[in-house]
Amino acid sequence: MAAMVMVGQQITETQSGSGARRGWSVAERNRALFERQRARRRGPTPEMFFAKHIDNSRLVKEDDPERRREVRSFTIAMIVLFSLTMVYVWQHFSAIEVGYRVEAQKTQVEQLQEKNRQLELTEAQLSDPERIDRIAKQLGMEFPQPGQVVRPDGMSGTAAVMAQAHVPALAGPRVGN
């Protein structure tokens, strides 16, 4: 209860003195705060405040070998982790690229197969004996009469001929190997 009374007094002091404090300098405000704190302080010894201006600009930090070792091991660990991550990413994107290439080649194979089917169909249509006969008749061609076909080997078209394979003879004996 006594604490609540003190808090209430502080609130009223701050509210009533806020208008008067606006024109105060920093030193006056600090002096007023110090006086309020002294009234609440317990014990006979006053607090002493000293201002020290320390210039550390000439100091050089000494190397710590343990810290250097920690930093080096951390750097190596990060490089290894980064390298492994980059290898994983490279493999992943390479697999995706290979997949795209495979799909493109599958599409190309399907197109070539379709083109091959079309060419085979065209070949079958063009090599149809009935079609050839019809075109020959439109052009005025007729079946050859007996004796009209002349073979380059001099044989007649009526005699049966056995198929033979001719092996070319060597050019002659080799001299002076």
For 130-154, the pLDDT digits (tens) are: 999 899 889 988 888 877 777 777 6
Please give the pLDDT value at position 31: 87
The two three-digit tokens of residue 166, written as one number: 């001719």
Please give the pLDDT value at position 171: 58
Please give the pLDDT value at position 123: 94
pTM over 0.95: no
Sequence-ordered list of residues with C-beta below 8 angstroms from that of 151, at least 6 positions apart, any chain: 157
Which residue intervals of the chain are DSSP H helices? 2-21, 26-40, 65-126, 129-138
d(CA 96, CA 94) in angstroms, rounded, equals 5
Contact 38, 46 (CB under 8 A): yes
Amino acid at 131: R
The two three-digit tokens of residue 45, written as one number: 């010894």
Amino acid at 78: M
Please give the pLDDT value at position 172: 55
Point out the residues of the chain with pLDDT beneath 70: 1-22, 39, 41-47, 154-177
